[in-house]
């Protein structure tokens, strides 16, 4: 079994490398298509031709883009994310703290959203067709249909402006106590939980319903098992595969898709960093962020596959 | 409250009332979108109200927006864009995703591997960021918007269709078709497609909701249709300052989005079921 | 705060202030103001003034938190590269300039003790003695020479390279004396030196991440795109130094989020809020709006060398078609002054008040378009969020046009890359010009035949000659007259339609005291941190 | 003696897709005495499983007990609450499902599932329960009883799983065990072992049983009494011996007659003429997995198989699951290209892969699969399914094609009204006829039939076989008939190839010699149950032989 999982991981590493390379090239060409370069963007309205030429030379942007990209790729293989064009700081330093922030936020949201979604999804499946199931289903669809920025803004208005319970901004630094962490993260976590849970609830419900209708769940009931026991011990373990996949997709959103939440709560995460990178045409920064998102996505998907395999003795 | 319609060839359908409500709402918005230019009470760009975020009144049925423009007219025109763009994008995404997914499942081998990796790569870049880059690179005209949304949602549709098609592909009737000597297009469209249309439609619905939401998310990043028009998401965003006052300018477009997406979901969850009743 | 509100007199001010002291309710006040003919939106401003009037003695201590509207990894502590308001705020906190402008727009000395010239060509700057940098080194003329010469080096990427080019030589005469030689006489040099880019840094600085300056605050943390924290400089050369102990500054790019952060008490100041947010701020007790009209404007540029602007009547028609009142009232909610298609705002002493703005007149516009043979054609018009309110202005023009049979194809393009791709390039597009302290700078940057940012490609030899003549004049009255004529020329001949001068509105907590207006921009010309105090 | 189970006037309703309710059990009475084994016999849809499940107070989703009483040891399961029913289930009445492979939770170890009943009802400590399970494993003659429980369901064979499912049912010492077609999915040689184990344990502990099956011969070996069901109604009840020898009801007699041995009859076509064979297979090797250095696959499912078939004659291939017979069929059809060997059809070389065969060759050789469910596209109507090969091979269109479809339906004895239906609306037998008609539509020379009757009830299967024979007479076809069911193969084939472990072990020509020579063939032939209640008890098998060849 172990060899199978190891084999799968090596296989995935190989295909991941291919995917990463594709992403890298795609990002490079997309960035190349963007009008202007770092020098013109930095100079903005002050971009006279000679000023642009001067700055370009000073920033070594006068070399061909492909050459710079190639050099960056080679650096990446040695674990070097390169130097930001804009402020000459190693990209790793720029990303470092923000990456920790992103992961922390994603982690806390996961902590809340996943158990919540599983509970709601499983119970809705158990009481399929009941009033409870209908309420859960309608609520999840309702929540899924509200734009993210609307949820976030409403939450700020309610909890910060009117009730003054929570801060409107979520700075990750200067937190000392657990209570403070809770306060600071409360609103982004609420917002993101709303955003990512709906899909997880739907998928969990569907996966559990699929397994509830199997002969082995019927067999468990005919052994005298209660409904709870039949669902939790017999149906659920076999629904782990699709549920893990849904969770992985939801969580991958938390890595790169939270730009709106980062903006509204002024949370310094990687998504905003990449937007900055795009707006200043900072190729090494854009590339590094894209690679991080891609790695995050691929490892989550792979992790979900491994979980599915571990949960299923037939394939391991 | 079950209505059944009898169609020829003794095939009957059962359509629950929840699904019918969903269908009715979708139809309503579709009509609004089609008739939009003829039913707006005021020009979309004209400033009618001295005040802004005005309340509902007999003159301005849904109040005014942040510039004092008529909200009703803006929502009616917005229906055109939200429904139109989302529908076009989701059709493109689901069609290409499904076609590629089925082809990958049937053809297999390196074609499958390469395509899967390529679309994986596409999927791994956060959708809003790719939207941002594309819009910055080529601007945000309608075709670009539609194409971009379609490309963003193709990988998901591909993954889904492929996983369904892989299952169907193991069925004996596929083997029968292939040993008959049928080509890939026939197998894909005639043998596999009819068996996965149900789930594909469900996927289509969910993806439609995602597209509507991404469209409104993009408005937050400043992308969208050209002024004076705006899709509903953009309407919510440009008027979000009215939220503290409960201005209809922000509430109504939100409700419009919710009503559309919820209805699509209700419809796909309660699609008319073909009744297979042997003993009839 | 700027007091240029129509129909509003000092006696009205007094009435309102009295009413507040008597304890009038907000509603009463608003009624009063409506009766006075002031736009409703101006209410908060007056409230703000009245409350700040009651506590005028600075208090010491506290942690000041303020939010600007944009920041990114491109954030810098290099004054030459400073491009965003956040950069200016940071630079103002840690550096000083040779001169600065007070709220009346008059040049005051900061690091310089005096700036003198006999011919407006060769200038002698005497520096203050006893000024030290944060690292303990004393300020000397070498630092000034270094700081000024940097702008001439293209590799630095200075934003004021175009203006600095007129400086042909900078020499240190002795430890505290610097001699600046200009290519041509320019009487405005002291004003030019008050611009934020001309902050004085230490001689030989290449790494700006430390932020070593002479300013009221020392840099404690600087995270580009995230936030900056400053602590009070105990050795500041100005008496008493800053009032607050520490100062934290960051940007919240979403307008709503910025306002909400203020309202929830997370920050003391939300810079540059959109007019549509005013209602919310006004509805909450304990917050005021601070308005600055410093000459920022968004203009519709019609290139005179490209179709359709090459038909003379097109630009003339546009000047009648643009509904200035509606832009002032609906787009900017009264936080603007109607402008007369030229860049010198009423905040400037050189403003030509005789030159009246053109009234909205669709019939005249139609006449001009007809004359140009353009009526009924579809004209592409490029707009972007990058230029303040340009999208709304475009829709207003579009709507007005549709009423007389002109079709404007409004194309909103992303802010990202707008300045390098569309601005100055498209035949009909919007621009946004930040306030400049002198007409000379405005004219030479924007309207001289060889101006780098000649938005409408306006070329006039007569104009160029007048510009050079006025520049060297030390006779104020004569200068004002020439500048007045030049304003008329721009208004009538150039292709730039300037509908209004946009006020900057900062929303502040009523705890924040001592904030005044400044012609260099919002947040007291970005230098507020040094002057304000927190009332517990 | 008090009856353990008394069912009185039981009625069960099912709700159809249309929301219409139909009665599927129409007021039946049934008694089971303590220690008695009662068999419920009937074809699919007769309601036998539904009745059996009501004894546990359980109705499948969509079904509902509408009236009547089901008394088990004095308790009426119909009126009990769900919680009270749960207390009876597993404890007093337990259940052995039709397919243990599906009824075992794939993600849990077997032992945990076997002892789960004792945990649910808190019968005994875990350790004791495990010991009891192991002793049951031993009693049910499972190999390696100490260890087998630690495996996962997919790691043990079907026959073993079926016995493990029985152990699961027996661990709580129930008063009654319900067996739902427990041996249907097993090979004949395995079936013997399982039946024997069941019978021994039941008799030893005096446990009553309800045995649900469609196979009279199997039921004859184990049941005391037989209840014949059809369409939710009891047709006939009687002691096993009486039913077998003296059936009153015509339906029962129909069931019995399906068991009468049928002979191949005369070969129609001139077999003697030494024509070139229609199909010749020479040294065929096929399998799965990565290709090895020698160019052969890692797992060789078929090793060096050679056979030849004369025009108009039929070839049967028999063997147990996993012997390679289906792989051989697929290789001949080109679905799984052979790794080595030659194929010749009608004197012309056949490419190994179907992809490289000409359309004409593909047309001449058709294959029909076991599961009509999966071989008919559920999204298409019968008309479309039959119309496609007509268009594809013969270019038929419009009225010509319509007429031909009608003719085909007529040929396979299906009413024309089925044209517009989808496969889901047909019964199993009807589907298999459509499946066969599709092969006929190509007008082939040879049809490979892969277990086409295995999924059908006995009566239906017999009818399909008759149809095949008829078609052969009319269309001068040849069949390759693959099956694990000897009686079916004997009924239709001129030659029989016995396969074991990928190899052809023997070729028998029934017309010449009915007696197999190879020990495996002997074992296989002797394992087919007879309609004789004493057959199982009298059957003696060489333990060595069993050990060598039976892995169930």
CA–CA–CA angle A306, A307, A313 (5° rounding): 90
Mean pLDDT score, D474-493? 85
In DSSP notation, B201-251 reads HHHHHHHHHHHHHHHHHHHHTT-SSPTT---HHHHHHHTGGGGGGT-HHHH
The per-residue pLDDT for range B204-217, each reduced to its tens digit, is: 888 888 898 888 88
The per-residue pLDDT for range D43-92, each reduced to its tens digit, is: 877 888 899 999 998 988 888 899 899 998 888 989 988 888 888 898 89
Show Cβ contacts of residue C157 under 8 Å, excluding neighbours closer than 6 positions.
A39, A42, A43, A51, A54, A55, A58, C80, C81
Is the pLDDT confidence value at A64 over 60?
yes
Residue A290, SS3? helix
Chain D residues with beta carbon closer than 8 angstroms to that of A234 = 105, 108
The per-residue pLDDT for range A129-182, each reduced to its tens digit, is: 889 998 998 888 888 788 888 888 898 888 888 888 888 887 745 566 777 778
Closest C-chain CA to A171: C226
Interface membership of D404 toward B (CB under 8 Å): no
Rg (CA), chain D: 25
Rg (CA), chain C: 23
In DSSP notation, D248-260 reads -SHHHHHHHHTTS
Per-residue confidence at B2, pLDDT binned at 50, 70, 90? very low
D353 contacts D436 by C-beta, under 8 angstroms: no
Residue D59 CA to residue D43 CA, distance in Å, equals 19
Give me the CATH topology for the region D79-211. Rossmann fold (3.40.50)
Interface membership of A216 toward D (CB under 8 Å): yes
Q: With touching defined as 3+ CB pairs under 8 A, do chains D and C touch? A: no
More confident call, A252 vs A170:
A252
The per-residue pLDDT for range C314-370, each reduced to its tens digit, is: 999 999 999 999 999 888 888 888 999 999 988 888 899 899 999 999 999 999 999
In DSSP notation, A197-233 reads HHHHHHHHHHHHHHHHTSHHHHHHHHTT--HHHIIII
Please identify among residues 222-251 of chain B the ones whose CB lies closer than 8 Å to any CB of chain C. 222-223, 226-228, 239-242, 244-245
Chain A residues with beta carbon closer than 8 angstroms to that of C67 = 266
Per-residue confidence at B275, pLDDT binned at 50, 70, 90? low
Residue B260 lies in a domain: yes
C228 contacts C248 by C-beta, under 8 angstroms: yes
Show Cβ contacts of residue A130 under 8 Å, excluding neighbours closer than 6 positions.
none
Residue B182 lies in a domain: yes
pLDDT at A192: 92
| Other beta carbons less than 10 A from residue D397's beta carbon | 11
Q: Cβ C73–A276 below 8 Å, yes or no?
A: yes
Host H or E run for residue C99: strand C99-101
Residue A117 CA to residue B169 CA, distance in Å, equals 32
CA distances from D305 to D287, D348, D468 (A): 12, 19, 26
Asked if D79-211 and D267-530 have one fold, the answer is yes
Per-residue confidence at B74, pLDDT binned at 50, 70, 90? very high
What backbone phi and psi angles, to 5 degrees, belong to C502? -90, 130
Nearest to A23 among B124, B136, B244 (CB): B124
Per-residue confidence at C17, pLDDT binned at 50, 70, 90? very low
B154 contacts B96 by C-beta, under 8 angstroms: yes
Lowest-confidence pick of B7-11, B69-73, C413-417, D243-247:
B7-11
Mean pLDDT score, D399-426? 88
Please identify among residues 72-91 of chain D the ones whose CB lies closer than 8 Å to any CB of chain B. none
Interface membership of A315 toward D (CB under 8 Å): no
Mean pLDDT score, C114-137? 91
Is the pLDDT confidence value at C400 over 70?
yes
Q: Structural domain boundaries of chain D?
A: 79-211, 267-530
Residue C496, SS3? strand
Per-residue confidence at D404, pLDDT binned at 50, 70, 90? very high
Q: Cβ D17–B275 below 8 Å, yes or no?
A: yes
Mean pLDDT score, D441-459? 86
Distance from CA of A148 to the nearest CA of C (A): 14
Residue D312 CA to residue D475 CA, distance in Å, equals 9
Q: Cβ A156–C257 below 8 Å, yes or no?
A: yes
pLDDT at D441: 92
Q: Cβ A153–B243 below 8 Å, yes or no?
A: yes
CA distances from D433 to A39, D419, D439 (A): 76, 13, 10
Mean pLDDT score, D10-14? 91
Mean pLDDT score, C485-491? 94
Nearest to B261 among A20, A144, A161 (CB): A144
| Alpha helices (H) along D258-335 | 325-333
* Torsion-angle region of D90 (φ positive above 0: left; ψ -120 to 50: alpha; else: beta): left
What backbone phi and psi angles, to 5 degrees, belong to D301? -80, -30
Domain D267-530 belongs in CATH node 3.40.50.300: yes
Is the pLDDT confidence value at D297 over 50?
yes
Interface test mutation site (partner A, options D57, D58, D82, D86, max chain A beta carbons within 10 A): D86
Show Cβ contacts of residue A304 under 8 Å, excluding neighbours closer than 6 positions.
A241, A244, A245, A247, A248
pLDDT at C304: 92
Interface membership of A171 toward B (CB under 8 Å): no
Please identify among residues 464-493 of chain C the ones whose CB lies closer than 8 Å to any CB of chain A. none
pLDDT at C484: 94
Lowest-confidence pick of A49-58, B174-183, C92-101:
A49-58
The per-residue pLDDT for range C435-484, each reduced to its tens digit, is: 888 888 899 889 999 888 899 999 999 999 999 899 888 788 899 999 99
The per-residue pLDDT for range A81-104, each reduced to its tens digit, is: 888 888 778 888 888 888 988 998
A227 contacts A200 by C-beta, under 8 angstroms: no
pLDDT at B131: 83
Closest C-chain CA to B68: C330
Is the pLDDT confidence value at B68 over 90?
no
Q: Cβ D16–B275 below 8 Å, yes or no?
A: yes
pLDDT at C12: 44
- For residues C330, C333, C334, C340, the Cα torsion angle rounded to the nearest 10 degrees is -50
Residue B15 lies in a domain: no
Q: Which residue, chain included where needed, has tokens 């700075």?
A: A171
pLDDT at C495: 92
Q: Which residue, chain included where needed, has tokens 């007093």?
A: D92
Residue D499, SS3? strand
Show Cβ contacts of residue A174 under 8 Å, excluding neighbours closer than 6 positions.
none
Q: Cβ C410–B228 below 8 Å, yes or no?
A: yes
Residue B48 lies in a domain: no
Chain B residues with beta carbon closer than 8 angstroms to that of D425 = 276, 278
pLDDT at C43: 36
CA distances from B170 to B175, B197, B204, D375 (A): 8, 17, 24, 10
Chain A residues with beta carbon closer than 8 angstroms to that of D58 = 221-222
The per-residue pLDDT for range C66-104, each reduced to its tens digit, is: 998 888 888 889 999 887 788 899 999 999 999 998 887
Distance from CA of B198 to the nearest CA of A (A): 14
Query: Is the omega angle on the peptide bond into residue C308 within 30 degrees of 0, that is, cis?
Result: yes
Interface membership of A130 toward B (CB under 8 Å): no
A156 contacts C257 by C-beta, under 8 angstroms: yes
Q: How many domains does chain B have?
A: 1
- Burial grade of D2 (CB within 10 A; 0-12, 13-18, 19 or more): exposed
Q: Cβ C279–B50 below 8 Å, yes or no?
A: no
What pTM did the predictor assign? Answer: 0.82
Per-residue confidence at D252, pLDDT binned at 50, 70, 90? confident
Query: Is the omega angle on the peptide bond into residue C283 within 30 degrees of 0, that is, cis?
Result: no
Strands D75-76 and D279-291: unpaired
- CATH number for the domain spanning B217: value is 1.10.3720.10
Residue C504, SS3? strand
Closest B-chain CA to C276: B66
Nearest to B265 among A141, A256, A278 (CB): A141
The per-residue pLDDT for range B81-136, each reduced to its tens digit, is: 999 999 999 999 999 999 999 999 999 888 998 898 889 888 888 888 888 888 77
Residue B114 lies in a domain: yes
Q: Which residue, chain included where needed, has tokens 């922000």?
A: B250
Show Cβ contacts of residue C473 under 8 Å, excluding neighbours closer than 6 positions.
C187, C479, C482
Mean pLDDT score, D184-211? 84
Is the pLDDT confidence value at B172 over 50?
yes
Interface membership of A153 toward B (CB under 8 Å): yes
Closest B-chain CA to D16: B277
Give every strand in the sheet of D503-508, ordered side by side: D365-368, D446-450, D478-483, D314-318, D495-500, D503-508
Per-residue confidence at D513, pLDDT binned at 50, 70, 90? low
The per-residue pLDDT for range B3-51, each reduced to its tens digit, is: 433 334 455 677 788 889 999 999 999 999 999 888 888 888 888 888 8
Chain A residues with beta carbon closer than 8 angstroms to that of D94 = 222-223
Mean pLDDT score, D453-462? 79
Lowest-confidence pick of A166-170, C165-169, C204-208, D260-264:
D260-264
Residue B273, SS3? strand
| Other beta carbons less than 10 A from residue D124's beta carbon | 16
Chain A residues with beta carbon closer than 8 angstroms to that of D86 = 221, 224-226
Residue B265 CA to residue C128 CA, distance in Å, equals 73
A141 contacts B261 by C-beta, under 8 angstroms: yes
A241 contacts C190 by C-beta, under 8 angstroms: no
More confident call, B155 vs C43:
B155
pLDDT at C44: 38
Per-residue confidence at B280, pLDDT binned at 50, 70, 90? very low
Mean pLDDT of chain A: 85
Residue B50 lies in a domain: no
What tokens appear for B35 in the block?
A: 């008739």
Residue D18, SS3? coil
Residue B250 structural domain: 78-268
Closest A-chain CA to D96: A219
The per-residue pLDDT for range C35-56, each reduced to its tens digit, is: 333 333 333 344 444 344 444 6
Is the pLDDT confidence value at C247 over 90?
yes
Mean pLDDT score, C97-112? 88
Is the pLDDT confidence value at B138 over 70?
yes
The per-residue pLDDT for range D90-123, each reduced to its tens digit, is: 889 999 887 777 888 888 889 999 999 998 988 8
Q: Which residue, chain included where needed, has tokens 């139109």?
A: B84
Interface membership of C61 toward A (CB under 8 Å): no
Residue D285, SS3? strand
Interface membership of A163 toward B (CB under 8 Å): no
What backbone phi and psi angles, to 5 degrees, belong to B208? -60, -45
What backbone phi and psi angles, to 5 degrees, belong to A235? -75, -50
Nearest to A43 among C153, C159, C252 (CB): C159
């Amino acid at each position: 079994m172990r060899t199978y999982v190891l084999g799968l991981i090596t296989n995935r590493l190989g295909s991941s490398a291919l995917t990463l390379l594709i992403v890298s090239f795609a990002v490079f060409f997309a960035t190349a298509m963007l009008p202007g370069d770092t020098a013109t963007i930095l100079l903005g309205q002050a971009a006279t031709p000679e000023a642009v030429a001067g700055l370009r030379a000073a920033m070594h942007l006068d070399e061909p883009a492909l050459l710079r990209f190639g050099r960056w790729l080679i650096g990446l293989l040695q674990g070097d994310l390169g130097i930001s064009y804009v402020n000459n700081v190693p990209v790793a330093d720029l990303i470092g703290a923000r990456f920790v922030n992103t992961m922390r936020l994603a982690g806390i949201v996961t902590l809340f959203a996943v158990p919540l979604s599983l509970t709601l999804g499983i119970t809705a499946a158990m009481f399929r067709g009941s009033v409870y199931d209908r309420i859960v289903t309608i609520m999840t669809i309702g929540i899924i249909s509200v734009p993210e920025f609307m949820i976030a803004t409403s939450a700020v208005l309610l909890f910060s402006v009117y009730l003054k319970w929570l801060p409107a901004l979520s700075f990750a630094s200067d937190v000392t106590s657990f209570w403070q962490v809770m306060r600071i993260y409360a609103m982004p976590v609420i917002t993101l939980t709303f955003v990512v849970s709906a899909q997880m609830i739907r998928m969990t419900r569907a996966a559990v319903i699929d397994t509830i209708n199997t002969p082995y769940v019927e067999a468990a009931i005919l052994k005298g098992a209660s409904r709870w026991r039949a669902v939790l011990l017999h149906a659920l373990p076999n629904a782990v595969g699709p549920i893990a996949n849904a969770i992985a997709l939801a969580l991958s959103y938390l890595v790169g898709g939270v730009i709106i939440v980062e903006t509204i709560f002024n949370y310094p995460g990687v998504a905003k960093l990449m937007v900055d990178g795009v707006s200043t045409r900072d190729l090494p920064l854009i590339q590094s962020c894209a690679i991080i998102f891609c790695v995050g996505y691929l490892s989550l998907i792979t992790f979900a596959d491994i979980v599915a395999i571990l949960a299923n003795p037939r394939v391991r | 409250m079950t209505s059944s319609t009898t169609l020829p060839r003794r095939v009957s359908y059962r359509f629950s009332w929840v699904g019918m409500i969903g269908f009715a709402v979708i139809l309503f918005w579709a009509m609004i979108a089609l008739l939009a230019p003829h039913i707006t009470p005021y020009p979309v760009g004209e400033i009618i109200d001295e005040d802004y975020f005005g309340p509902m009144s007999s003159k301005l049925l849904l109040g005014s927006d942040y510039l004092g423009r008529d909200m009703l007219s803006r929502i009616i025109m917005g229906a055109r864009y939200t429904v139109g763009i989302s529908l076009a994008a989701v059709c493109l995404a689901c069609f290409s995703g499904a076609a590629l997914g089925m082809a990958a499942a049937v053809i297999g081998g390196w074609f499958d591997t390469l395509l899967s990796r390529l679309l994986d790569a596409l999927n791994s870049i956060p959708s809003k960021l790719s939207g941002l880059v594309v819009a910055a690179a080529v601007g945000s005209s309608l075709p670009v918007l539609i194409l971009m949304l379609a490309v963003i949602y193709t990988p998901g549709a591909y993954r889904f269709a492929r996983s369904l098609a892989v299952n169907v592909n193991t069925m004996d009737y596929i083997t029968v078709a292939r040993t008959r000597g049928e080509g890939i297009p026939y197998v894909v469209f005639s043998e596999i497609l009819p068996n996965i249309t149900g789930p594909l439609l469900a996927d289509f619905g969910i993806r439609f909701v995602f597209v509507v939401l991404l469209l409104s998310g993009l408005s937050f990043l400043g992308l969208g249709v050209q002024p004076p028009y705006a899709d509903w998401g953009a309407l919510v965003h440009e008027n979000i300052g009215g939220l503290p006052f409960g201005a209809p300018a922000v509430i109504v477009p939100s409700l419009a989005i919710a009503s559309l997406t919820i209805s699509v979901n209700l419809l796909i969850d309660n699609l008319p079921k073909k009744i297979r009743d042997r003993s009839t | 705060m700027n007091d240029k509100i129509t129909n509003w007199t000092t006696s009205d001010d007094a009435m309102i202030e009295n009413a507040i002291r008597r304890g009038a309710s907000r509603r009463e006040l608003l009624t009063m103001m409506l009766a006075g003919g002031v736009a409703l939106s101006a209410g908060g401003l007056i409230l703000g003034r009245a409350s700040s009037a009651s506590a005028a003695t600075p208090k010491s201590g506290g942690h000041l938190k303020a939010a600007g509207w944009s920041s990114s990894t491109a954030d810098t502590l290099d004054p030459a590269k400073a491009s965003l308001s956040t950069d200016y705020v940071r630079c103002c906190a840690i550096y000083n300039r040779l001169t600065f402008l007070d709220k009346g727009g008059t040049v005051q000395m900061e690091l310089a003790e005096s700036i003198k010239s006999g011919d407006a060509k060769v200038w002698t700057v005497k520096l203050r003695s006893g000024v030290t940098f944060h690292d303990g080194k004393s300020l000397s003329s070498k630092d000034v020479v270094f700081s000024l010469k940097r702008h001439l080096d293209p590799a630095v990427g200075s934003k004021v390279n175009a203006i600095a080019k007129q400086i042909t030589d900078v020499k240190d005469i002795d430890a505290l004396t610097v001699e600046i030689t200009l290519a041509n006489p320019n009487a405005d040099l002291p004003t030019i030196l008050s611009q934020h880019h001309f902050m004085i840094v230490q001689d030989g600085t290449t790494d700006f991440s430390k932020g070593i300056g002479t300013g009221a605050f020392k840099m404690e943390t600087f995270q580009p795109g995230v936030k900056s924290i400053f602590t009070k400089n105990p050795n500041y050369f100005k008496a008493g130094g800053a009032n607050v102990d520490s100062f934290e500054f960051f940007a919240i790019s979403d307008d709503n989020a910025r306002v909400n952060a203020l309202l929830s008490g997370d920050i003391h100041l939300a810079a540059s809020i959109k007019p549509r947010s005013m209602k919310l701020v006004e509805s909450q007790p304990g917050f005021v709006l601070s308005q600055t009209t410093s000459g920022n404007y968004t203009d519709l540029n019609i290139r005179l060398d490209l179709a359709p602007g090459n038909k003379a009547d097109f630009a003339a028609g546009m000047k009648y078609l643009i509904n200035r009142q509606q832009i002032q009232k609906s787009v900017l909610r009264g936080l603007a002054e109607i402008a007369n298609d030229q860049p010198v705002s009423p905040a400037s002493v050189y403003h030509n008040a005789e030159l009246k703005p053109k009234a909205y007149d669709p019939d005249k516009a139609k006449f001009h378009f007809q004359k140009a043979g353009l009526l009924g054609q579809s004209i592409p018009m490029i707009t972007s969020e990058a230029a303040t309110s340009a999208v709304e202005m475009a829709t207003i023009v579009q709507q007005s046009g549709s009423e007389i049979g002109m079709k404007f194809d409004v194309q909103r393009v992303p802010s990202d890359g707008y300045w390098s791709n569309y601005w100055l390039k498209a035949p009909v597009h919007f621009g946004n010009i930040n306030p400049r302290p002198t007409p000379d700078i405005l004219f030479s940057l924007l309207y001289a035949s060889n101006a780098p940012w000649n938005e409408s490609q306006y070329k006039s030899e007569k104009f160029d000659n007048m510009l050079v003549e006025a520049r060297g004049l030390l006779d104020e009255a004569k200068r004002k007259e020439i500048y007045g004529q030049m304003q008329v020329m721009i208004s009538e001949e150039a292709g730039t339609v300037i509908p209004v001068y946009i006020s900057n509105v900062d929303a502040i907590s009523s705890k924040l005291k001592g904030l005044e207006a400044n012609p260099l921009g919002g947040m007291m010309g970005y230098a507020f941190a040094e002057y304000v105090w927190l009332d517990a | 003696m008090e009856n353990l189970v008394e069912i009185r006037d039981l009625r069960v309703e099912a709700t159809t897709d249309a929301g219409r309710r139909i009665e599927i059990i129409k007021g039946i009475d049934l008694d089971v005495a303590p220690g008695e084994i009662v068999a419920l016999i009937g074809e699919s849809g007769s309601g036998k499983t539904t009745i059996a499940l009501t004894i546990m107070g359980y109705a499948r989703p969509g079904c509902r007990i509408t009236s009547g009483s089901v008394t088990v040891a004095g308790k009426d399961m119909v009126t009990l609450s769900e919680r009270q029913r749960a207390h009876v289930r597993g404890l007093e009445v337990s259940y052995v499902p039709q397919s243990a492979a599906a009824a075992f939770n794939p993600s849990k170890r077997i032992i945990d599932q076997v002892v789960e009943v004792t945990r649910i009802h808190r019968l005994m400590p875990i350790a004791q329960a495990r010991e009891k399970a192991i002793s049951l494993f031993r009693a049910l003659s499972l190999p390696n009883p100490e260890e087998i429980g630690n495996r996962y369901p997919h790691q043990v064979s079907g026959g073993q799983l079926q016995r493990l499912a029985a152990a699961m049912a027996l661990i709580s010492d129930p008063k009654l065990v319900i067996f739902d077609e427990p041996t249907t999915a097993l090979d004949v040689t395995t079936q013997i072992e399982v039946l024997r184990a069941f019978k021994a344990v039941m008799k030893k502990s005096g446990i009553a049983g309800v045995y649900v099956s469609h196979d009279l011969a199997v039921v004859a070996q184990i049941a005391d009494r037989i209840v014949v069901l059809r369409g939710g109604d009891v047709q006939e009840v009687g002691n096993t011996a009486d039913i077998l020898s003296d059936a009153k009801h015509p339906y029962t007699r129909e069931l019995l007659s399906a068991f009468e041995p049928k002979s191949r009859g005369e070969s129609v076509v001139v077999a003697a003429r030494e024509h070139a064979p229609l199909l010749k297979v020479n040294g065929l090797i096929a399998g799965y997995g990565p290709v090895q250095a020698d160019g052969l696959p890692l797992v060789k499912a078929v090793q060096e198989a050679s056979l030849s078939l004369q025009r108009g004659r039929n070839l049967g291939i028999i063997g147990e699951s996993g012997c390679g017979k289906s792989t051989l069929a697929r290789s001949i059809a080109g679905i799984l290209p052979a790794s080595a060997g030659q194929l010749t059809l009608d004197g012309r070389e056949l490419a190994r892969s179907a992809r490289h065969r000409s359309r004409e060759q593909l047309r001449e050789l058709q294959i029909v699969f076991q599961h009509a469910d999966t071989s008919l596209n559920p999204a298409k109507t019968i008309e479309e399914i039959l119309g496609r090969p007509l268009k594809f091979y013969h270019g038929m269109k419009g009225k010509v094609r319509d007429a031909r479809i009608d003719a085909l339906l007529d040929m396979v004895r299906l009413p024309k009204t089925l044209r517009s239906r989808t496969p889901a609306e047909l019964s199993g037998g009807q589907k298999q006829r459509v499946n066969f008609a599709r092969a006929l539509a190509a007008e082939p020379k040879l049809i490979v039939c892969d277990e086409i009757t295995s999924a059908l009830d006995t009566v239906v299967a017999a009818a399909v076989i008759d149809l095949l024979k008829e078609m052969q007479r009319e269309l001068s076809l040849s069949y390759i008939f693959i099956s694990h069911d000897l009686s079916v193969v004997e009924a239709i084939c001129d030659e029989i190839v016995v396969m074991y472990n990928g190899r052809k072990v023997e070729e028998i020509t029934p017309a010449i010699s009915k007696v197999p020579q190879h020990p495996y063939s002997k074992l296989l032939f002797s394992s087919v149950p007879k309609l004789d209640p004493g057959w199982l008890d009298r059957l003696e098998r060489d333990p060595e032989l069993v050990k060598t060849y039976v892995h169930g």
